[in-house]
Amino acid sequence: MREAGGGLAVVPTAPERTRNSDVDHPYRYDSHFHYLCGFDEPGAWLLIDASGHSTLLCREKNLELEIWEGVRLGPAAAPAALGVDEAFAIDALDKLLPDRLANASAVWFPFGVHPELQARVDGWLGAVRKRERSGIECPGAQRNLSPLLGEMRLVKDAGEIATMRRAAEISAGAHARAMRFCAERLRAEPRSGIREYEIEAELLHEFRRHGAQAPAYPSIVAAGANACVLHYAAAGAELRSGELCLIDAGCEFDGYASDITRTFPASGRFSTAQRELYDIVHAAQEAAVAATHPGARQRDAHWAAVRVLAQGMLATGLLDRNTVGDADAVIESGAYRQFYMHGTGHWLGRDVHDVGEYASLGEAPVDQLDGQGGRVMKKPSRVLRAGMAVTLEPGLYVRPGPGVPERYWHIGIRIEDDAVVTDTGCELISRGAPVAATEIEALMHG
Ligand code: GLY
Ligand code: MN
Ligand code: MN
């Protein structure tokens, strides 16, 4: 007989991926899988049944291959090393799964993540079905495991927060290093530029020398006008004295991402126009920080930042009050989107854009701004609670256009910090990199 409420969760890690020819990308495990068992080798699967019993399938020891590829943990050592209840060689997977799925009420796995997983599940269910005449019941349901794991991962425990703090600390140090590097180079050679890739190299050096495994996402190092391209990658453009440099870069440390943006003047002094816009973005971020606390909704930080940005756009003449009206009208019409077109934050954790539902699914839809200048009926955003981690990343991006004051043309600014919600507010774990304009100038001239 099938256990009531029982089921089996099946979680593969990520496959190895070819980069080109016979060269692979550096291996990165699957975030769900690693969250559950902390195992970082490829070729592994985790099974968890309804009682919490866990089974790892992993690569067998193979001394010949280990000479080339490195040491494998192997199933014999896995339970003691990882805390799983049992472990078998990966070759046992197709035999074991039909046994474990027999009489289970459901099979749970992440939908739409691993391209061949659905076919594997269908194969195992087919094998169970063949035994039905001997009284074995086949799972009656396939369920998506991702939302459950997303909810578990959304609220971080103390160990996770400590790891995230370390990731953010290393990344903040890398941003400070990049600022110092630019100031020193331009002091020594004021007339020559600095290539974006040279600045990227400073970041990577700082990440790795502190033991971070990799950048959590491709680093953005944008000189001058390139900062107005939101997904610009570090390339070969020259950063020159008088321009701003926008860096959006963060390392991954022991499986956890950091995500920091700083914008600084190449030579260490903001121009008047740069400083005006910088201070608006900084004030918008302060408003977002104040709106991030238990009981607030995740989206409150966005609207708090948008209000300050909209007021700044009117005060500087980026938007003409006679044409667009006051700040309320600018927010309602979405006119601010000419200069601020992205959201103010996202969940942060093992993935830089971490898992977890953004909408409060248990609540009824409400009438709200859709963020595109219209209105929509949809569920309100999620209420924050201690242990959630978010980024706070307002910006301003000024492209030339009719009526746009020329002194602001090509200025792109974003400030991004990583916040962990606490019992009373939020803690910014990435503030090892200076953020106020005066602090940046002080560091670059120190
Ligand atoms: N670095 C990606 C982001 O800020 O969302
Ligand atoms: Mn971000
Ligand atoms: Mn970022």
Confidence of residue 372 (pLDDT cuts 50, 70, 90): confident
From 230, 416, 418, 430, give the residue whose CB has the most ligand 1 atoms within 8 Å, as the site to mutate. 416
**pLDDT mean over 430-443:** 98
Q: In angstroms, what CA-CA distances link 410 with 169, 182, 401, 405? A: 31, 20, 10, 11
Concerning whether 414 is annotated as a catalytic residue, the answer is yes
> Which of residues 98, 118, 153 is at a domain's end?
153
- Is the pLDDT at 4 greater than 70, yes or no? no
Q: Which of 80-84, 111-115, 125-129, 346-350 has the lowest mean pLDDT?
A: 111-115
Looking at the DSSP bridge assignments, the partners of residue 23 are 20
Q: Of ligand 1's atoms, which has the minimum distance to the CA of residue 220? A: 1
Residue 2, in any domain of the structure: no
**Which amino acid, one-letter code, is at 83?**
G
pLDDT given at position 346: 98
pLDDT given at position 2: 53
> Which of residues 122, 153, 184 is at a domain's end?
153
Assign residue 355 the CATH number of its domain: 3.90.230.10
Residue 352 Cβ inside 6 Å of ligand 1? The answer reads: yes
What is the domain range of residue 376? 155-444
Q: How many CB atoms lie within 10 A of CB 442?
A: 12
Residue 3, in any domain of the structure: no
Tokens found for residue 446: 């120190």
Q: Looking at the structure, tell me whether residues 71 and 174 fall in a common domain.
A: no
pLDDT digits (tens, 9 = 90+) for 36-74: 999 999 999 999 999 999 999 999 999 999 999 999 999
Residue 1, in any domain of the structure: no
Instruction: Give the integer Cα–Cα distance in Å for 77 and 96.
Output: 19
CA neighbor of 288 nearest in space, from 277, 310, 303: 303
Confidence of residue 102 (pLDDT cuts 50, 70, 90): very high
Task: Calculate the average pLDDT of the chain.
Answer: 97
Structural contact between residues 34 and 254, judged by C-beta atoms closer than 8 angstroms = no
Q: Looking at the structure, tell me whether residues 179 and 189 fall in a common domain.
A: yes
From 220, 247, 259, give the residue whose CB has the most ligand 1 atoms within 8 Å, as the site to mutate. 259
pLDDT digits (tens, 9 = 90+) for 307-347: 999 999 999 999 999 999 999 999 999 999 999 999 999 99
DSSP-derived 3-state class of residue 344 = coil
Structural contact between residues 200 and 234, judged by C-beta atoms closer than 8 angstroms = yes
Q: Looking at the structure, tell me whether residues 131 and 147 fall in a common domain.
A: yes
Residue 259 Cβ inside 6 Å of ligand 1? The answer reads: yes
Structural contact between residues 408 and 318, judged by C-beta atoms closer than 8 angstroms = yes
Q: Looking at the structure, tell me whether residues 170 and 127 fall in a common domain.
A: no
Q: Looking at the structure, tell me whether residues 94 and 186 fall in a common domain.
A: no
pLDDT given at position 5: 61
